[in-house]
Structure formats: C-alpha cells, structure tokens
Amino acid sequence: MGKKKHSDGKTVRVHDRDFRLYISEQKIRKSISSMAEAIEQAYGELNPILLPVLNGSFIFAADLVRELSMNFELAFIKAQSYDAFHSTGDISERIGLELDIRGRHVLLIEDIIDTGNTMAWMLKKLAEKQPASLDIATLLFKPEAYLHDFPIRFVGMEIPDAFVVGYGLDYDGHGRNLKAIYQVC
C-alpha cells in the first residue's frame, strides 16, 4: 500500500512523502470510547441510522459501532472532494443511499471535517429526505480550515490545518492501513 516504516516507528513514508506520528492508537481509542458514550446518551432508545461517509471513515466507523450497545441501523454513503492534498470543493454526487431516512434520527459519521464543504453538501441532500434529526460525529475536526457554521455535535479531536494520513485516511490512495494518525512532515 505504499507504506514503509522508518526504523524509529515515529515516521513513515507513504507514497512519496514522509509523515510523523501525530495521534497514537491509544489516544484514538480513548477518543472513540468517550464519543461512543456521548452518542449512547444522546440517542438512547431512538434507534438511529448511522451513516458513515466512505471511504475514509470505514475504520473509524467499525471501531465506533463496536463501542455502542444501543440499537441502531447502518448504511454507507459516499462523496469525494479531495485531490491528494487539497479539498477541491467540487463534490461528486455519489450518495447512493438505499435506506429510507424520512422521520428517522440520522447520525453522519465522518473521519475528518476540513473545510466542511463535503458535509455541507451531504447535509443539504439528506435534509431534503426529511429525517427527524440530522447530526454529525467526526473523529477529527480542523477548526482553522472550516468554512461553514453548521453545528458538529460529536467531535473526537480538534487538529491544526495540516494534512494527516492513517486510520482510514489516505494520501493519494495510500496509507489507510496505518494504525495511528500521522501528520505530513
């Protein structure tokens, strides 16, 4: 997958760039466990639909749902706005949602919110389907890059505006399998 560990384990080469360890596996686990607690408290018996946004959030979503003991349904949606390093703002229409969300409580699950363009587009599309509620859980949030003002109900960790890779997040298709999160050097 284009990933090669350097001898110290703190930096990795992904594709053609070096990245340094930024958020450890342990820190990720802790953050997910407190987010899961907050989600359980918020939804209780509401049987929400959890909607991970592909591709990046597949690992986060898999770990998050295994921390939940409440009832929920799961479906996936897809959108893309990134070219290797930059959010393009040009979001392709790849929603492909099969479940009927009308009157249901919906929680979008994102790996990272950067400019917020992808999420703003998703929110607009999904709101048209008239869910009972529509909220967001994101593992990572870059407040400095954020261009919108919609509320993000569950945030794992705030990070500076620098490109990160690992734990499902890719650099040009590479590095999704890294267990921790790494920041570009």
Q: What span, in angstroms and rounded, lies between the C-alpha atoms of 165 and 181?
A: 6
Min CB(11)–ligand 5GP separation in Å: 17
**Measured from the CB atom, is 113 or 134 closer to ligand 5GP?**
113
| HSE-up (13 A, CA, CB side) for residue 52 | 19
Contact between 56 and ligand 5GP by CB under 6 A: the answer reads yes
Tokens of 185: 């050097």
Alpha-helical runs (H) found in the chain: 25-43, 58-65, 117-127
Tell whether residue 77 is a contact of ligand 5GP (CB under 6 A): no
Instruction: Rule CB under 6 A: choose which of 101, 169, 178, 180 binds ligand 5GP.
Output: 169
Nearest to 161 by CA among 179, 177, 183: 183
DSSP-based helix, strand, coil % in the chain, nearest 5: 20, 40, 40
The residue among 74 and 132 lying less far from ligand 5GP, judged by its C-beta, is 74
Q: Does 31 bind ligand 5GP (CB under 6 A)?
A: no
Which residue in the list 63, 100, 111, 114 is annotated as catalytic?
A: 114
Write out the binding residues for ligand 5GP, residues 94-133 only, by CB under 6 A. 110-119
Return the number of other C-beta atoms located less than 10 Å from residue 11's C-beta: 14
**Catalytic residue at 114?**
yes
Residues that bind ligand 5GP (CB under 6 A): 56, 81-82, 87, 110-119, 163-165, 169-171
